[in-house]
Structure 1
């Protein structure tokens, strides 16, 4: 901005100087010409007046002594140099120089002009006798009485005229210099005021370019510049509002992307990874944030994923594919690669979406297996019912012993079928969230007593000894039917898989605001390699024996579902032919309005 200020000052100063130089030159030339004209006119007037006086002389004298005397008297009155020249060019008289020292003057320009017929001859030159710059004016004089004829010449020092002009010009130059100085100071002040405001606006624009929108322009210059500064202020306010909206949108988008369960990765056109959300890092089992700026070829380990992204780059079309990943663990992934285009339909980058569908595929398999298992499990009692009923219809009704035996089998299979259907309906009802009973504060000990009464017949048939260990009367906030169903299934299984006169222990205690409910038996036990599968639907350790004791294979699945949906968990330990130990952990309180409360 200082360069601009300097250029403005120099420019206007140069213009002023040029104008003043031209002005002074013109004025000086005009004044000199006018002064010379005035001096010539005055000199000519004096010459004519003096010449008229000389022509009035009546008495003839030798060598014009009277005329010379008269010229000497006149030279004392006027300051001009007087010269009298005869027709032959000899100087008869000169008021400044001795006449006999002067050469002939017939060839002088002013005399030559008179000889050619001009009334007054004028010329200015440097005098050879006095070495002065003189203005000359000459005329012809004749005295008819005396018979004298010659030339009268007056000359005036040009330095006097030039001196007057120089004094005038000096005064004018001093005035102009003063004017130039004043104008220069004004231009400097004006330029600094303009450039300072422009510099301020430029600095504000520079600060705005660094996204600092707090700066403002404060008016203090000319109206037009202040209006520009006001526009800059409005621009800063609008940019600040827009940047706030952009940052808010970016924050919302970032939070949205970071909290998506779907993995999101942005790959630039040069195939370098630009952005990765936490879900993508979790799904791929590595930190891709540290690999931003590197090629996805180098960063990803799944060849199928790389091939899908590469195909999207080649075809510039959306790619959707289900792939298997084996690092860091085996997963089934749904890959979606979407190209992003600009307004000119040029590809800017690609968004890679990764969704873990391992659980979906597992549930689909579980559903398929469930249908197959249900069909298989239902087929056995249905086949038995149909077979024995057909046998009876074919004539076995007449044999009372066979009739009773078959009816008992039919009743047993019908009961088993009824139990299986009830378990299937209950499990389906639970999974569809149709069991919305209100939770209540109940006694765990009383619920255990109720269950033992329900199972008393089954317990007495095998003469099972039930041992209850409880520190105190424990209360829990839960759906009463859920707790009862959990205890029924666990105790029923313990009784079913324990030999006659065996022992089942029920332990009730609390720890860390949780209910610890354990059911321990000394029955046949469960092999360790099958402990992880006993909660699967229709899974049985010994299928033949399970059917014989009336098991449906759904009891433990129902228990696991009830426990987990009441924010608890279940553990199992076992030794074959020694013991089995089930432990259920349930919170004593429920979550209400995002806080834990006790009743």
Structure 2
């Protein structure tokens, strides 16, 4: 039931009880007052008759007395009876003189007895004489010398009629009051309802989470009644709640930022295996778009399901597992811990793929370095031993062995120098002096320096760029990048071929591409060609000499200069190496 309905029922109930009580009290008081007024009036009339008649003994003719009594009866609208001290009726306005002897003795009438004893008396009773209920008043007539009584009587029906008339008026007044009260109750109920509806609308908006300043201000806080008091309390609570929510949101964001910056994936499951929380790193590691509210069974990752089951039994469980990835298999180190206080399970994921790849690269690096060093060292040692064994005595042989020792020592020197350069670049120890460099002119200079090396295989350079190309770069670093790329292209290009060099402007960058005429690269080789000491199977089979560090140095130098580097294998043979540098 609505507040208006409840208020209406309460008001009507109280009003009805009040009106009923008022009616009962009014009926009682009005009846008593009306009866008292009639009694007073009868008493006055009796006293008037008493003083007017004088002594009853002076009337010897009952007819003349009857005439006198009739005058008073008509004037007072009452029945007048004269009774002597013996209780005999000597005159009655309602009875003929001839019939007086038929009337009973009135000495036993209550009002007569009271009048004789107390001077006056009252009585309400049924009259056998007139056959109706009467209200009697009797007063002693002391002038008679005896205990004579003058009695006045009126039919009680007059009192009832007057009382009913008053009751009708009272009832009408009460009905009017009731109707007015009902209307007032309806108006008050509507007014109260509107006030509560206003408060309810504001509370509903607050309940839905709308804690904006405008919503809080819509509360009727300026009222001075109870609704205003409630509104002020709600406003205060809402402001406190908004501040608490703002603080919680700030703390949640800080906590989320910390979790996202951990570098580890965090997934929280409830006791049923439903995800309650996850950070962004967990999505990246598992390569999914969403985890929230997903069941552990729907993840289709059996290792995580196994960890969840084991953590339920043991409290925690750790393992390493492998999952399929878009870029190949991914190794994940994971641990599941049970939080007893919240009945949740916290999964921590760490992507071990890069560490495994780095470990593999380290092993490959050591193996490749050992392989690359073994050949020149072995040659130097073998030739040195040969010289010591007597080849020094043969100038022609000695010269041959000495040249071999010199050539391989130069290879070792180059390899060590490249390793040092690469290490300095990777660890940021190499200083770069960035300035405006004419890229077109730099390409021409490197081409000229490589002309003799290219001529050994009858290789020609093709380069044509008419515009200006100024980039931000370090002179030495840029020259080394071009040297290594052109030397690599010459090494793997076939004889009597050409190397096509292109320079293009792309947005804020210049792009340099070098297309050779070699055997080309497979997609797998293209992804590994910039690694240290990496050599293709064909290069190893053809015993192509080199440190295996040139392209690795190119990659790191270009990255340090703020550019990008890559290779595009071609189906018809040859490879297009490219790099970009930012224009000035």
In 2, Cα distance between equivalents of 1:141 and 1:491 = 160
2:329 aligned with 1:330, yes or no? yes
- Cα distance in 2 for partners of 1:81, 1:544 equals 155
Provide Cα deviations, 1:437-470, integer angstroms capped at 9, x if missing partner.
21533244653543543673x566xx33231212
Partner SS for 2:461: strand
CA shift digits 1:3-49 (9 cap, x unpaired)? 13313431442253144224313422541453365356546646865
Provide the C-alpha distance between the structure 1 equivalents of 2:114 and 2:280, rounded to a whole number of angstroms.
Answer: 118
User: Which of residues 94, 97, 101 is equivalent to 2:95?
Assistant: 97
Q: Cα 1:18–1:340, aligned 2, differ >3 Å: closer, same or farther?
A: farther
Cα 1:50–1:338, aligned 2, differ >3 Å: closer, same or farther? Answer: farther
CA contact (8 A) 1:335 1:355 kept: yes
1:427 shift after superposition:
1.8
* Partner residue, 1:433: 428
CA distance in 2, matches of 1:87, 1:135: 21
- After superposition, residues 35-114 of structure 1 pair within 5 angstroms as 35=37, 38-39=40-41, 41-42=43-44, 45=47, 53-55=55-57, 57=58, 65-66=60-61, 69-70=64-65, 72-77=67-72, 79=76, 80-85=78-83, 91-101=89-99, 102-106=102-106, 108-110=108-110, 113=113
Aligned to 1:126, what secondary structure does the other structure show?
strand
Counting matched residue pairs gives: 561
The aligned runs of 1:144-163 (5 Å cut-off) are: 152-157=149-154, 158-159=156-157
Residue 518 of structure 1 is matched in structure 2 by 514
Gaps of 5+ in 1: 58-63, 591-597
Map 1:189-268 to 2 at 5 A: 189-212=187-210, 213=212, 214-215=214-215, 216-218=218-220, 222-233=224-235, 265-268=267-270
Gaps of 5+ in 2: none
- TM-score normalised by the chain length of structure 2: 0.76
Structure 1 equivalent of residue 126 of structure 2: 126
| Cα gap change, 1:384 to 1:218, in 2 (>3 Å) | same
Q: Secondary structure at the match of 2:202?
A: helix
- Relative to structure 1, the CA distance from residue 389 to residue 173 in structure 2 (aligned partners, 3 Å threshold; closer, same or farther) is same
Q: Which residue of 1 aligns with 2:567?
A: 570
Determine which of 17, 21, 30 is the counterpart of 2:23.
21
Paired position in structure 2 for 1:442 = 438
**How many Å separate the matches in 2 of 1:194 and 1:143?**
74
Quick check: 1:467 aligned with 2:460?
Answer: yes
Contact 1:494/1:504 (8 A) holds in 2? no
Alignment match of 1:485 (pick from 474, 480, 487): 480
> How far apart in 2 are the matches of 1:138 and 1:530?
140
User: C-alpha distance in 1, partners of 2:479/2:405?
Assistant: 29
Deviation of residue 184 (structure 1)?
Answer: 5.8
Shift in CA distance, 401/351, structure 1 to aligned 2, threshold 3 Å: same
Counterpart Cα distance in 1 of 2:435 and 2:570: 30
Q: Name the residue aligned to 1:304.
A: 303
2:89–2:105: 8 Å Cα contact kept in structure 1? yes
